[in-house]
Chains A and B, each alone.
Chain A
Amino acid sequence: DAKTTQPTSMDCAEGRAANLPCNHSTISGNEYVYWYRQIHSQGPQYIIHGLKNNETNEMASLIITEDRKSSTLILPHATLRDTAVYYCIVRPYTGTASKLTFGTGTRLQVTL
């Protein structure tokens, strides 16, 4: 799986957009970008994934650059409950059961 680089931590004011970057300069053509988050002492939560087009769902938006070497997860109106560690994972579509490799992620702190 391609290696990813994320900032160790970020702060965001409640109500503002949180923009979490991820670099994946060695990504291959068949690899997807996945985002998960883990709130303290809970299981990871799937957020969104994409291949090359921008994606949006009820939780977030995913912006992937044209060369696919980086991406940004956007939480449009962050709340205190969005405080968590956010993981960017790049992996190929396998069609079979396979492990997820979580790096160290970005610790997002949403403040009043």
Chain B
Amino acid sequence: DGGITQSPKYLFRKEGQNVTLSCEQNLNHDAMYWYRQDPGQGLRLIYYSQIVNDFQKGDIAEGYSVSREKKESFPLTVTSAQKNPTAFYLCASSIVGTDTQYFGPGTRLTVL
């Protein structure tokens, strides 16, 4: 069953702790993305990657870091430098050369 998985669905962390959100896809897509969504708001791009071992900052990269060591995986680390980390985080992927992005189910992060 092809698709994008994000785990966990809900995540709670104490303020000041780094946390890593998982994103895995088996669609054989080259490009992967991380977005953040706040209540009642649209999606904002954090980071994206077109190819393994390469990634670019999006509109709100400060306080976040990513890695792309495998085509299938694009984990996002929310660091303690992120001022307002509580949000709904969405991972997506696409075939480079098409503009259709496919999204995972999301991880809702709450920092206490």
Contacts and interface: CB of A to CB of B under 8 A. Distances in A.
Interface stretch (B12-20, B79-87, B103-111): B103-111
A62 to B, nearest CB: 13
B105 A99 contact: no
Contact of A97 (B35, B42, B94): B94
B103 A44 contact: yes
Interface residues of B, number: 30
Specify the main secondary structure of chain A where it touches its partner.
loop
A43 B106 contact: yes
Contacts of A102: 42-43
Interface residues of A, number: 22
Specify the main secondary structure of chain B where it touches its partner.
strand
B99 A99 contact: no
B50 A100 contact: no
B103 A45 contact: yes
A94 B96 CA distance: 9
Given A43-B90, A43-B106, A44-B43, A32 B48 contact: no
Nearest to B50: A97
Interface of A: 32, 34, 41-46, 49, 91, 93-104
Interface of B: 4, 6, 30-31, 33, 35, 42-43, 45, 48-50, 58-59, 88, 90-92, 94, 96-97, 99-106, 108
